[in-house]
Amino acid sequence: MELSERKNIRISNAFFNLALEYAEQNNLYYSAILLKKSILFDKKNIDSRNLLGLIYYTEGEIVDALIQWVVSNNIVKNNNLATYFIDCVQNDPNYNQLKDSIKYYNAAIDDINQERNDLAMMHLNKAIELNPQYVKALTLLALLQLQIKENIKAGSNLYLAQKIDNGNFVINKLMNYALKVTNKKEIRDKKLSNLYSKKKIEEDDAIIPNKYIKISTSQKIIFSLIGVFVGFLCYHKIVLPMIRISYESNSTSQIITYADRLNDLNKEINDLTKEKNELQNNYDYVNTRLQNYEEQNKNFTFRFETLNSVISLFDQGQIAEAARLYISIENKEQITDETLVALLNAARSRIEGLGSEKLTNLGTDSWNANNKDQAISYYTLSLNLDPDNPETMFLLARLYQSLNRIEEANSLFDKVIAEHPDSNYARRSKEARGY
Amino acid sequence: MLDFKEELKKFKKSTEFDDIQDELANIDITDMNDVVFKILKELGNK
C-alpha cells in the first residue's frame, strides 16, 4: 500500500472517529459532513458509509441511506452491516409509509415553488404523519409556520427536529427565531422542553378513570320526563310572564304614543279648520266686496251711459226719448259718484226743467194733428217728469173726456181742483166737470 | 429578521425510490486515492 493511500486511510478514519463522536451527541448534521469527508479520502471506508447511511435513515432520507448501504455492500459483500441495514429497511412494516413520506415532501417542494404554501403545509403534515422523524419535513414545515406567524406550532416541530439532530444550524437558527418572536428567549433547556414538549405517559403512571355510574333505560326515561316537566314549568312561570310583561309594557307605551299622536293630529285638524273658516270668511268678504264693486261698476257704467244719452237726446231735440230714458234711471237719489252726480244734474236741469213743458207742447201738437194716442203718451210722460203740473193734468183730462174716458178725465179734473184750487185750471176743470 | 424566501430556496427534493437505480448508476465514488493515482499516472505518462 502506498504512502499516500495509507495517509488517506488514516485521514478518513480520523474523520470517521470525529463523526462518530458527533453522532453520539446527536449532532447528525456535522457528523454527516465529516463522514462525507471520510469517504472522500477513502471510498472503501464502509464504516463511514454505513454510519452515513444510518444518519440518513435516522433523518428520514431512506433512499439516500439505501444508496450508501448498497454501495457499501458492493465494496464489501461479506460481514458488512450494510446488508443487515438493507434487510431491516426492506422488512420494515412501515416501508411503504416511509416511501410515501418522501413523495409528500417532494410534492410540498413543488407547491412552494408554485407559491402554494397552504398546500405545501398540508403535504408536509402528511409526510410527518407517515414518518415522524423526517427532519427536513419538520424543518420546512416549521419555516412555513413561522412565515404565517404560527410560532408555537413551528417551535414544536423544531423541537422535534432538534431532538433528532441538534447540530443542524438551519434548525437552530429557526428555533432561535421562533423563541425570539414568541418572546420566550429566556426559556432554555428544561424550560424549553416544557414549553414545546408534549407530556408522555410513562409506564409507572397510574391512570385512574372517573367513576362511571350506569343508568337503566327506565331511569333515563324518567329523568328525561322530569327534565321536560321542569323545563315547561320554568317556561310557564318565569319566561312567559316576562314575555307578557314586556309585551304589555310595549303595548302600553305604544298606546300612549298613539294617543299623543292622535291628540296632536286632532289639534292640528282644529287649527286647520279654524284657519279654513277664517280664510273662507275673508274670501266671502272679498267676494262680496268684489261683487259690490262690480255691481257698482256696472251701475256706474249704465248710469253714466244713460245720463249721457239723456243729455245727448235732449240736445238733439228728441225730448220724449230723453225723458223716457231719464225716467228709466232708478234710485237717482242714491247716486253719489261725483261724475255721475254732475251728469245727473245736467240731465235733470234739461228734463225736469224744460222737458215736461216741451212734452206738454208736443202732446198738444199731436192732439191738434188728431193724433190723440200720441198726445196721451206725451201728456203722460210730461206728468211723469212733473206730476204736479195743473196744465198738463187739465189737458190730459180734456183729452180723456173727448175720448169718452169719463172716469179717467174726472179723476184728473178732481185732482186739479183739489191740488190747485186757486188756479185758472181749477175753474176750468169745474166747468168741464159740470159743476 | 428571517428572509423566508431565501430560507425556503435552501430546501431541495429528496431522492425517491423510483430514482434509486439512476442514483446508483451515477454515483461518484471517486476518492482521494483515485485522484492521486490519476495525477501520478499523468505524471508517469509525461
Q: Is A185 on the interface with B (CB under 8 A)?
A: no
The CA distance from A139 to A169, in Å, is 11
Instruction: Please check whether residue B5 is in contact with residue A52, taking contact to mean a CB–CB distance below 8 angstroms.
Output: no
Task: Answer whether A112 sits within 8 Å of B20, measured CB to CB.
Answer: no
* Pairs from A103-112 (Cβ < 8 Å, separation ≥ 24): A103/B16, A104/A130, A104/A137, A105/A134, A105/A136, A105/A137, A105/A140, A105/B13, A105/B14, A106/B13, A106/B14, A106/B16, A108/A137, A108/A140, A109/A140, A109/B11, A109/B12, A109/B13, A112/A140, A112/A144, A112/B8, A112/B11
Q: Which letter does DSSP use for residue B16 in this model? A: P
pLDDT of residue A275: 87
pLDDT of residue A203: 46
The CA distance from A142 to A140, in Å, is 5
The single residue listed with the C-alpha cell 465514488 is B29
pLDDT of residue B33: 81
Q: Of residues A350 and B1, which shows the higher confidence score?
A: A350
Tens-digit pLDDT string for chain A (435 aa)? 567 788 888 999 999 999 999 999 999 999 999 999 999 998 889 999 999 999 999 999 999 999 999 999 998 888 899 999 999 998 989 889 999 999 999 999 999 999 999 999 999 999 999 999 999 999 999 999 999 988 889 999 999 999 999 999 999 999 989 888 886 554 454 455 555 565 555 444 445 555 566 778 888 899 999 999 999 988 888 888 888 878 877 777 777 778 788 888 888 888 888 888 888 888 888 778 777 766 766 677 788 888 888 888 888 888 889 988 888 888 888 888 888 888 888 888 888 768 888 999 999 999 999 999 999 999 999 998 888 899 999 999 999 999 999 999 999 999 999 999 998 999 999 998 886
**A4-26 residue pLDDT tens:** 788 888 999 999 999 999 999 99
**A217-253 residue pLDDT tens:** 888 899 999 999 999 988 888 888 888 878 877 777 7
CA dihedral (B29, B30, B31, B37) in degrees, to 10, reads 150
Q: Is A25 on the interface with B (CB under 8 A)?
A: no
What ipTM was reported for this prediction? 0.85
- Total CB pairs under 8 A between chain A and B: 82
The number of helix segments (H) and strand segments (E) in chain B equals 3, 0
From chain B, the residues in CB contact with A140 under 8 A are: 8, 11
CA-nearest residue to A141 within chain B is B8
Out of B13, B27, B30, closest to residue A71 by CB? B27
pLDDT of residue A48: 94
Instruction: Please check whether residue A66 is in contact with residue B20, taking contact to mean a CB–CB distance below 8 angstroms.
Output: yes
Using alpha carbons, list the distances in angstroms from residue A328 to A286, A311, A321: 31, 14, 11
Which residues 1-46 of B have a C-beta within 8 angstroms of A?
A: 2, 4, 7-8, 10-17, 19-20, 23-24, 27, 29-34, 36
Q: Which three cell numbers stand for residue A151?
A: 410560532
